[in-house]
Amino acid sequence: MVLKSPGILTYMLSVILTVLALVSVMFSASIPYISGQEFWVILVAQLVLIFGCVMRGL
């Protein structure tokens, strides 16, 4: 299996999801759909990044 760098959109989506989850935890911000689900948001962000590195065209 050959890994490649993810596309800029995939990378930015992962970064934005991660930052939103961390802001929700660290600053007790109330962000709809994220507050209370931070673990799952971080997991999805990292899975997006992994799929972006493994699959072509993402």
Q: How many domains does the chain have?
A: 1
Q: What pLDDT is recorded for position 1? A: 76
State which amino acid sits at residue 8: I
The reply to whether 2 falls in a domain is: no
1 within some domain: no
Q: Could you tell me the residue range of the domain that residue 23 belongs to? A: 8-54
pLDDT digits (tens, 9 = 90+) for 14-37: 999 999 999 999 999 999 999 999
Buried b (16+ CB within 10 A) or exposed e, 37-55: ebeebbebbeebbeebeee
What is the pLDDT averaged over residues 9-17?
96
What pLDDT does residue 25 have? 95
What is the pLDDT averaged over residues 37-58? 92
Residue 24 lies in a domain: yes
pLDDT at 2: 84
16, part of any domain: yes
